[in-house]
Amino acid sequence: MAAVDYLVIARKYRPQTFTEVAGQEVVARTLTNAIRSHRVHHAYMFTGPRGVGKTSMARILAKALCCESGPTTEPCGVCEHCKRIADSSHPDVTEVDAARFGNKEDITRLLEDVSFAPQMARVRVFILDEVHMLTGHSWNALLKVLEEPPPHMRFVFATTEVEKVLPTVLSRCQRFDFRSLDLPTIVTRLKDIAGKEGGQLSEPVLYRVARAAGGGMRDAQTLLDQLIAVSDGQASEDDLDLLLGAARGEDLRELLGHALTGASAQALTRLDACCESGAAAATVLDQLIEHLRGVMLLQACGADAPAVKRLGLPIDKLQEFANKATPEKVLRACQVLTGTQGQIRHGADPRLALEMATVRIARLGEVQDLERLVQRIERAEAGAGPR
């Protein structure tokens, strides 16, 4: 796939209608109700994490208000207004990044500009992104306009850090909190896009992409782009591992297998190979925990549990571990590794900490034997009665 295509995918699949915005149904419903009942507010505040649809929704609202057949909950997408809003060239829809305004003049002039009557649409829409970046002067200029908004003006503010927005500004806006997106929502969208882009990705790989994106659709789509590009469309678990700077799944499972069967030398050799191939020790640790978590959930809830599926790991491989190691051992190994995460957070050397954890897991069998021995001695002593 050409590099140019690869860069534009996240934009290419920007939702164009209210129903296309995945996972933000509450916001979409409230906005469409407002449009239907002619109660559109003059100022909205869209808050939420990065890449979950705030700017997209702001543009859709602008289209809904400006569309030739509008105000409408279903902007046509083909009229002059809709087309120009989609490619950011509509004279009455201004979209700016608040980080640009260092001094008072800038935004004051802009706000004066936008308060003129619209040129071609019914209303003017002013979309101000990252509004928390405004400086003191700019806030005042903005507040003044918000106190007496010109009747033809609609404001949409967007921010990822709403706690930095002045309460006086907040109180003049209707606020919408955009949610971070859940895995199935992201996977469904990715599947759709991958299909259109001619990429073949298995469901587990898509789940891992979605998980790596941490609930953000843009990040998920960007990862998908890269994955399709590096793999010529047929992305495998290995491609994703490489892209995420993670150890190869197969190597990792060998490491885990050796550790769980007490073969510390082989486990350490595998660990060395994982790290030498470029994976950071902390990442390997995360992967190990992820795998053990999968095994634990599988042992507890069965292979069909949604929680297992959502991990995006090969279930047949998890099942092999589940058959070999007892749930107690898996649990203890998990504890060892999460403890190691804590140590690293407190400054321990990640590689050394992980090596120690590997040896400790390999010796879990011995420890359990020892514990059993102690219990037997204790029982024997109790049986012998007090001296």
Ligand X SMILES: Nc1ncnc2c1ncn2[C@@H]1O[C@H](COP(=O)(O)OP(=O)(O)OP(=O)(O)O)[C@@H](O)[C@H]1O
**Contact residues for ligand X, defined by CB under 6 A:** 10-11, 13-15, 21-24, 50-56, 129, 158, 160, 189, 217-218, 221
Question: In terms of CB distance, is 48 or 249 closer to ligand X?
Answer: 48
CB of 58 to ligand X, least distance (A): 8
Q: Which does 108 bind (CB under 5 to 8 A by kind): Mg ion, ligand X, Zn ion, none?
A: none
**Rounded Cα distance, 160 and 338, in Å:** 30
For Zn ion, the binding residues (CB under 5 A) are 67, 75-76, 79, 82
- Percentages helix, strand, coil for the chain (3-state, rounded to 5) are 60, 10, 30
For Mg ion, the binding residues (CB under 5 A) are 54-55
Q: Which two tokens stand for residue 121?
A: 């649409």
CB of 202 to Mg ion, least distance (A): 31
Q: Which does 67 bind (CB under 5 to 8 A by kind): Mg ion, Zn ion, ligand X, none?
A: Zn ion
Question: In terms of CB distance, is 58 or 67 closer to Zn ion?
Answer: 67
CB of 154 to Zn ion, least distance (A): 16
DSSP string, 209-276: HHHHTTT-HHHHHHHHHHHHHHHTTEE-HHHHHHHTTPPPHHHHHHHHHHHHTT-HHHHHHHHHHHHH
CB of 56 to Zn ion, least distance (A): 16
Question: In terms of CB distance, is 185 or 287 closer to ligand X?
Answer: 185
Phi, then psi, of 96 in degrees rounded to 5: -135, 160
- The helix (run of H) or strand (run of E) holding residue 174 is strand 174-177
* Closest CA relative to residue 42, chosen from 156, 141, 196, 127: 156
Q: Which does 94 bind (CB under 5 to 8 A by kind): Mg ion, ligand X, Zn ion, none?
A: none
**Rounded Cα distance, 275 and 352, in Å:** 12
Question: In terms of CB distance, is 68 or 161 closer to Zn ion?
Answer: 68
Q: Which does 24 bind (CB under 5 to 8 A by kind): Zn ion, Mg ion, ligand X, none?
A: ligand X
Phi, then psi, of 300 in degrees rounded to 5: -80, -40
Question: In terms of CB distance, is 156 or 362 closer to Zn ion?
Answer: 156
209, amino acid identity: V
